Amino acid sequence: MHDIDKADQENQVFKNSTRSTIDWWKGLNHNWKKNLLANLDFNRKFKEDYDAVDSLVSQKGLYNAYYFQFNRGIRNRLNEFIVTEEALTEILSLKCLVLRSHGLKSASPLNKFLNIQILNMLQFQDEELFIQVPKMEMLKVLRLGQMSSLKGISNWTSLEKICYYQSPNTVGQEELRLCKNLKDIRTNIPRGHYVELGPDFFNIEGVMELK
């Protein structure tokens, strides 16, 4: 009965809402939906303490971190989630995304986000990231895993801080030189699963105030 009620509510929303946003959500795979719902709930709990979210997810993994904080699985959260325009607007208004899952496959859903200032995609290793998402106009802080190329990163013109698992002498040196606003580059050859950055890396206060 619950599933029927949920479907009825969503069908009514689909009839009355902006099709582009609803269609975008319906077109996401389950891994994207679970990642975004986890980020939504983390944002509600931690507000703008981005370092706390990054540390928690980096140490425990996204799904385990979610269970640790909310005592429920992210799959159950997705199954119970009723898609509304209000909920999607809140998701698309997030300033920070910490994404974890090899099942994301493509980064193209990020094109819908206009307010992201901090992006952590530690497990995403597709060198076409900056082709799939040609612009991130508000992004200040970027954390990546091992990337074989950073081609196109200079199009993310607002980028000021980057940390990635590679030496800039072997990957990304020329590309990063084209990033006119870049102020902080941190690199690490992987020594385990977690590299602690600290809150200073995620501090975006005073850089740009969102309207």
Residue 98's nearest CA partner among 210, 188, 211, 197 is: 197
Question: What string of H, E and C letters represents the secondary structure of 159-195?
Answer: CCEEEECCCCCCCCHHHHHCCCCCCEEEECCCCCCCC
Amino acid 142 reads L
Q: How far, in Å, are 89, 125, 184 from residue 21 at the CA level?
A: 9, 27, 35
pLDDT of 4 reads: 47
Per DSSP bridges, beta strands 161-164 and 118-121 are: unpaired
pLDDT of 170 reads: 64
- Out of 3.30.110, 3.80.10, 1.10.1200, 1.20.1250, the CATH code matching 2-202 is 3.80.10
pLDDT of 17 reads: 44
Per-residue pLDDT of the chain (211 residues; tens, 9 = 90+): 555 455 454 444 444 445 589 999 999 999 999 999 999 999 999 998 999 998 899 889 999 999 999 999 999 999 999 999 999 999 999 999 999 887 898 999 999 999 999 999 988 878 889 989 998 999 999 998 888 788 899 999 999 999 888 765 666 778 888 888 999 888 766 555 556 778 888 888 644 332 2
CA distance 191 to 130: 26
Cβ–Cβ < 8 Å for 61, 138 = no
The pairs formed by 168-176 with CB atoms below 8 angstroms and a separation of 24 or more are 171/147, 172/147, 175/149, 175/150, 175/151, 176/150
